[in-house]
Amino acid sequence: MANNPNYQLRVELLRDKQSQPDAGDLLAAFCFTEDAGFQSDSSTVSLCLPPIEGGQLIESWRTHHPVSFRRIGQVRISESKNYAFATIQVQEQGPADFQSLVFEAYAELLSAVSSTACPHIIKIWNYFDRINDQEEGLERYQQFSWARAEVFKKLNLNDDVLPTGTAIGTQGGNVLSLIALLSSDRLQRFENPRQVSAYNYPKVYGPRSPKFSRAGLVETEGHQLFIVSGTAAVIGHESVYPFDIESQTEETFNNLALLSRLAETYTTRKTGSELDGDSVLRVYLREASKLAYVESQIRSKFNRSSRNIAFLHGDICRKELAIEIDGLRIN
C-alpha cells in the first residue's frame, strides 16, 4: 500500500517520539499518550491511552487525495474524496450528568456528519474515563450505551444500519472522545454467529443495549477496507473465562478469525483469512503486566511482527474482561 501512488487510505504507526505525521495528505492522527490534551487542528486527536511500552504512538491515516479541514461547532472535520473523520472531544465538568453529556455530544457529532460528502458512518471509537465505575445507580458504560441508543432512536438509525464501534476506558483526563470514520460508500456490515448481536443483548447488561455492528467492509474505486469492532472473549452474550488473560486471548483470536473468514463471503476480492500482514491492530489491556504474554501470542498466532500493533493500557467495558482487540485491513 505504501508504494501505491493512488492509495485511498494508508494507516501506519509512528513509534519515534519525535516523529510527527506530515500535514499534506494527513486525514487523521490518533495520538496515544499518557498526558493527552485537546488539539487545535482538525486532524489530530490525543487520547489518554498510554502505550504499554512507554512513550507515545501516533496512528496516522493518509490518503492520496487532497484533504480539507473545518469545524462545525465543537466537531472537527477532516475530509477527502472518499473518506472523512468527524471528531468531538468534551471535557467532563465535575459530577455533571454523564448521560446528558454523551447524548449532547453524540447528537452534535451526527448532525455534523450529515453535512459532509461522506455520509456513511463506518466506525465510531468511543473513549472516556472510569468506564466501569458506578454513578447514580448505573455503570458509566451503561449510561453511555443508554445515551447513544437514545440519539440513534431520535435520528431513526435502526439496528440494520449501525456502524462498527469500540468503547474503551481511558486512563485519566476526564474527556469524552468520539471519533467517527466516514465514507462516501456504504458499510456492508455483518455479525459474528458465535455471539448475540450487541444490539440484542438482554437487559442484564443495562437498560439499553450497545449499538454497534461486529464488523464490516467498504469497497470504493478498487480499494477495500475491512474493519472490526472492539472484540473480546464473549460467546453468546456472556463473557467467558473471567479475568483469565490466557483463555480470553485465545477466545478473542477465535472471534477475530471468524470475522475475517466471514469477510471473504461478502466480497469477490481476496481478503486473507486473518488480520495479519498489512493490518493495523489496537490491543487494549486492562493490566499492563500482561503485555509480554499477549505480544508473544500475537506473534505466534498471526506469524507477524508488532510493527503495526498498538498495545494500549485501557479498561474494557466489562470488569471481568482483560483484553479487547480492534483492527482493520486495507487491500
Please name the residue ranges forming H helices in the chain. Answer: 98-113, 140-154, 245-264, 291-302
Residue 238 covered by a domain:
yes
Given this model, what pLDDT does residue 214 score?
Answer: 98
Q: With H, G, I as helix, E, B as strand and everything else as coil, classify residue 83.
A: strand
Cα separation of the two ends of the chain:
8
Given this model, what pLDDT does residue 39 score?
Answer: 62
Taking 50 as the threshold, does the pLDDT of residue 2 lie above it?
no
Residue 287 covered by a domain:
yes
Given this model, what pLDDT does residue 3 score?
Answer: 41
Domain count within the chain: 1
Spatial distance between the Cα atoms of 245 and 250, rounded to a whole number of angstroms: 9
pLDDT digit string (tens) for 157-216? 899 899 999 999 999 989 999 999 999 999 999 999 999 999 999 999 999 999 999 999
Taking 70 as the threshold, does the pLDDT of residue 30 lie above it?
yes
Spatial distance between the Cα atoms of 157 and 285, rounded to a whole number of angstroms: 31
pLDDT digit string (tens) for 129-160? 999 999 988 999 999 999 999 999 999 989 98
What is the DSSP secondary-structure string of 225-251? EEEEEEE-SEEBTEE-STT-HHHHHHH
Residue 158 covered by a domain:
yes
Given this model, what pLDDT does residue 308 score?
Answer: 87
Lowest mean pLDDT among 183-187, 242-246, 273-277, 309-313: 273-277
pLDDT, average across residues 279-294: 96
Which is nearest to 210 in space by CA: 280, 323, 124, 86?
Answer: 124
Residue 1 covered by a domain:
no
Residue 76 covered by a domain:
yes
pLDDT, average across residues 24-28: 85
pLDDT tier at 18, thresholds 50, 70, 90: very low
Return the DSSP state at 99: H
C-alpha cell belonging to residue 317: 467495558
Domain harbouring 18, CATH code = 3.30.1330.40
What is the DSSP secondary-structure string of 136-167? TTEEHHHHHHHHHHHHHHHTT--GGGPPEEEE
Spatial distance between the Cα atoms of 124 and 139, rounded to a whole number of angstroms: 20
Strands 57-62 and 26-32: antiparallel
pLDDT, average across residues 249-273: 83
Count the neighbouring beta carbons within 10 Å of the beta carbon of residue 156: 7
Residue 3 covered by a domain:
no
Which is nearest to 131 in space by CA: 3, 2, 230?
Answer: 230
Residue 169 covered by a domain:
yes
Return the DSSP state at 289: G
Task: Print the domain residue range for 264.
Answer: 10-330
Given this model, what pLDDT does residue 277 score?
Answer: 61
Given this model, what pLDDT does residue 25 score?
Answer: 86
Which is nearest to 8 in space by CA: 122, 148, 173?
Answer: 122
Residue 4 covered by a domain:
no
